[in-house]
Amino acid sequence: MAKLKLQDIDTNEYPHINRGLEGIIAFSTTKSSIDGQKGELIYAGYNIDTLAENATFEEVCFLLWNDRLPNKQELDALKKKLIEERKVPDPVLDYIKNTNKDAEPMAVLRSATSMLADFAPEETGDSNQDYQNQAIAMTAQMPTIVAAFDRVRNGKEIVAPLKEGSTAFNFLYMLNGEKPGTQAENTMDLCLILHAEHGMNASTFTCRTICSTESDIYSAVTGAIGALKGPLHGGANTAVMNMLLNMDKQGEQADPVAFTKKKLANREKIMGFGHRVYKTFDPRAYHLRQKSKALSEETGHETLYEWSEAILETMKSEKNIDPNVDFFSATVYYSIGIKPDLYTCIFTMSRVSGWTAHYLEQAANNRLIRPRALYTGEKNLDWVPIDKR
C-alpha cells in the first residue's frame, strides 16, 4: 500500500485530525476557566483581577486544591505546613551541589523534583490526603531547590529556608541571602498568583496524562516541568528578557520597531506574544504591564519598559497579536534583580499548585488518556535480509 499523504486523506473515511489538539475538550474541570475572546481568566470561581488585588499565593493554592477559599484557621494551617516542608532532603541538596554548574536551572529543578519522590511525606493510607500532602511538599520545596542551585552555581553558600514568612518572602531571602523589602515580596507574590493555573495548557495536559496511567504525582509534575520548559510554553519569559538584553547591548543603535518588523518579515516569532486561546490581551499581562512600568521607573530600567511598549505597539499594528503572560513578567523579574534563566523556574514554583490540583481532580475521576494517531506509513512490506538493504 502506498504511503498515505495527509492532504490525500478522505475525511469521510478517516476522522478529522486536530493538529495540536486545538479546540478539543478533553476534560471537565473546576480549576480554571479561560474566555479567549473576552480575555477573562477565572480560578475556581474567582476572577484573576480579584485574586491579583486581594489574595496571597498561599490562598490561591488552597483555592485550587479545595475549590474554595480557606477560612483563617485553614489558611494558617496551610501556611504552617508549607513552612514545615521547605527543607529539601540532603541527597537532593548533594545533587544540586554536585551537578554541572552550567546546567539549565529548569533541568536541575526537573531532576531534583523527580528525586523528591524518594523522600515523599509519609503515607496516611488515604490517597487523596497523600496527594494533598505531596502537593504541599513540592510547592514548599521547589523555591528551596531553585534558590540553592542559583547560589551554588555562583559559588555562594546555600541559605536554609526561614521558619516564617510567605513563600515569596522566603524564596527571595534564600536567593539573595537577605530579607526582601515589601515591594519585592509583593511583586513576587503577585507573579506566583498570576502563574498558578491556566486551563489545559501543554504542561497541565502532560500532568493529567501521566496521572491517568495511575502513575505517582511526582512523575506527573516532573513530566509537566519538562513540558513547561519549552520556549513555546513557559520558556518564553527567559527568551523575552534575552531579546531585550540583546537590544540593550546595541546601545544607541537599538530600534525595537525595526527589530520587530524584521522578525515578522522573516516569519520569525516574537516571544511573549500570541496565545492558542486568547485572541485578545491576556488578562495576566495587564497586571504585569502595570508592575513592569512602575518597577522600571523606580529601578532606572525605563528603556527596557519603553522598548517593550514599542514592540507591543508594532505587534498590534503589524499582526494584531497581543502579549501573553510571559512578555511583561520578564521585565518585572528583571527589576527585582532575578536572573533571566530563573524566570521559568519561578513559573514552575507557581504552576505546581495548578498541576497538582489537576492531578487531584484527574485521580478522583480517572480514565486512561489514550488518543489515536492516523497511520500514514506503508503496510505489508516484504522483509529484506540485512545484507540486501
Catalytic (active-site) positions: 275, 326
Using rule CB under 6 A, residue 236 touches ligand CMC: yes
Min separation Cβ 201 and ligand CMC, Å: 5
Could you give the CA distance from residue 176 to residue 277 in angstroms, rounded to a whole number?
37
**Residue from the set 233, 261, 279, 316 that interacts with ligand CMC by CB under 6 A:** 233
Which stretch in 109-117, 126-134, 269-277, 331-339 sits in contact with ligand CMC by CB under 6 A? 269-277
Which stretch in 48-56, 75-83, 123-131, 322-330 sits in contact with ligand CMC by CB under 6 A? 322-330
Using rule CB under 6 A, residue 238 touches ligand CMC: no
**Residue from the set 143, 161, 223, 234 that interacts with ligand CMC by CB under 6 A:** 234
Using rule CB under 6 A, residue 270 touches ligand CMC: yes
Which stretch in 51-59, 125-133, 168-176, 318-326 sits in contact with ligand CMC by CB under 6 A? 318-326
Could you give the CA distance from residue 242 to residue 333 in angstroms, rounded to a whole number?
13
Using rule CB under 6 A, residue 326 touches ligand CMC: yes
Nearer to ligand CMC, 223 or 234 (CB): 234
**Residue from the set 9, 107, 321, 363 that interacts with ligand CMC by CB under 6 A:** 321
Could you give the CA distance from residue 207 to residue 219 in angstroms, rounded to a whole number?
8
Q: Which of residues 239-258 bind ligand CMC (CB under 6 A)?
A: none
Nearer to ligand CMC, 52 or 88 (CB): 52
Please check whether residue 109 is in contact with residue 149, taking contact to mean a CB–CB distance below 8 angstroms.
Answer: yes
Using rule CB under 6 A, residue 322 touches ligand CMC: no
**Residue from the set 276, 279, 301, 339 that interacts with ligand CMC by CB under 6 A:** 276
Min separation Cβ 142 and ligand CMC, Å: 17
Reference 146, options 207, 96, 220; nearest CA is 96
Using rule CB under 6 A, residue 232 touches ligand CMC: yes
Which stretch in 46-54, 88-96, 303-311, 323-331 sits in contact with ligand CMC by CB under 6 A? 323-331
Using rule CB under 6 A, residue 355 touches ligand CMC: no
Per-residue interface string for the shown chain with ligand CMC, residues 37-66, x marking contact by CB under 6 A: ------------------------------
Min separation Cβ 369 and ligand CMC, Å: 20
Using rule CB under 6 A, residue 273 touches ligand CMC: yes
Q: Strands 32-35, 40-43: parallel, antiparallel or unpaired by DSSP?
A: antiparallel
Nearer to ligand CMC, 18 or 366 (CB): 18
Nearer to ligand CMC, 153 or 195 (CB): 195
Task: Please write down the HEC assignment for all residues of the chain.
Answer: CCCCCHHHCCCCCCCCCCHHHCCCCCCCCCCEEEECCCCEEEECCEEHHHHHHHCCHHHHHHHHHHCCCCCHHHHHHHHHHHHHCCCCCHHHHHHHHHCCCCCCHHHHHHHHHHHHHHHCCCCCCCHHHHHHHHHHHHHHHHHHHHHHHHHHHCCCCCCCCCCCCCHHHHHHHHHHCCCCCHHHHHHHHHHHHHCCCCCCCHHHHHHHHHHHCCCCHHHHHHHHHHHHCCCCCCCHHHHHHHHHHHHHHCHHHCCHHHHHHHHHHCCCCCCCECCCCCCCCCHHHHHHHHHHHHHHHHHCCHHHHHHHHHHHHHHHHHHCCCECHHHHHHHHHHHCCCCHHHHHHHHHHHHHHHHHHHHHHHHHCCCCCCCCCCCCCCCCCCCCCHHHC
Nearer to ligand CMC, 89 or 231 (CB): 231
Q: Which residue is nearest to ligand CMC (CB)?
A: 274
**Residue from the set 139, 201, 222, 329 that interacts with ligand CMC by CB under 6 A:** 201
Positive/negative CA dihedral, 30, 202, 192, 241: negative
Nearer to ligand CMC, 27 or 119 (CB): 27
Contact residues toward ligand CMC (CB under 6 A) are 20, 198, 201, 232-234, 236, 269-276, 319, 321, 324-326
